[in-house]
Amino acid sequence: MGKRIGLLGGTFDPVHIGHLRSALEVADALGLDELRLAPNARPPHRDTPQVSAQQRLEMVRLAVAGIAPLVVDDRELKRDKPSYTVDTLELMRAELAADDQLFLLLGWDAFCGLPTWHRWEELLQHCHILVLQRPDADAESPDALRNLLAARSVSDPLALTGPSGNIAFVWQTPLAVSATQIRQLLASGKSVRFLVPDAVLAYIDAHGLYRASN
């Protein structure tokens, strides 16, 4: 029986309890051996993060320290080009055994945007896709994804077999927390206690991150 490895990418600007709770729920539900949080260096679809890549990486490291099976994967920060998910998956797949399962975790909005991603049609060659579905998500997928879903979706994520190739939806407890909200609170001098792990809050305070003077 191969390993079961998950990948959750993002800017993590900053990492917060929404990211971490989603990751833990999926890891527990699917019995993942490891769930890697991979901070983006230069995300192709988003504005450049406010703080440095090294600072975002350090916050993720602090957030997951001692919390198995969550770990940090910093490979995207070592590449001197945009963070294309397909490149990361190719590299990860090359490091894994043939029967290891690789799961890419995507929020509903990111999943709906897949047709704009670099070489998006190749993603399922390397992994299964787990779409994190919340009750407030719009259930209508874009036309470009209808055929893909018809051909590749599996109703039960625990029924995903083989190393890659299918899509499943995972029900998520909604947590109304966003990095944008956290940055706005910090910029206006308000507390973000309990929205980020204590170790992350201590790091933000120690380095004066996201304050209005930044």
Phi-psi region of 34 (alpha: psi -120 to 50; beta: other; left: phi over 0): beta
Q: Which pLDDT band, with edges at 50, 70 and 90, does 29 fall under?
A: very high
Residue matched to tokens 């990860």: 92
pLDDT at 214: 45
Lowest mean pLDDT among 96-110, 124-138, 172-186, 191-205: 124-138
pLDDT at 160: 96
Cβ(59)–Cβ(203) below 8 Å: yes
DSSP class of residue 141 equals P
Please state the length of the chain: 214
pLDDT at 213: 61
Tens-digit pLDDT profile for residues 117-146: 999 999 999 999 999 987 666 667 888 899
Q: Which domains, from first to last, does the chain contain?
A: 2-173 (3.40.50.620)
Q: Which pLDDT band, with edges at 50, 70 and 90, does 45 fall under?
A: low
Cβ(40)–Cβ(81) below 8 Å: no
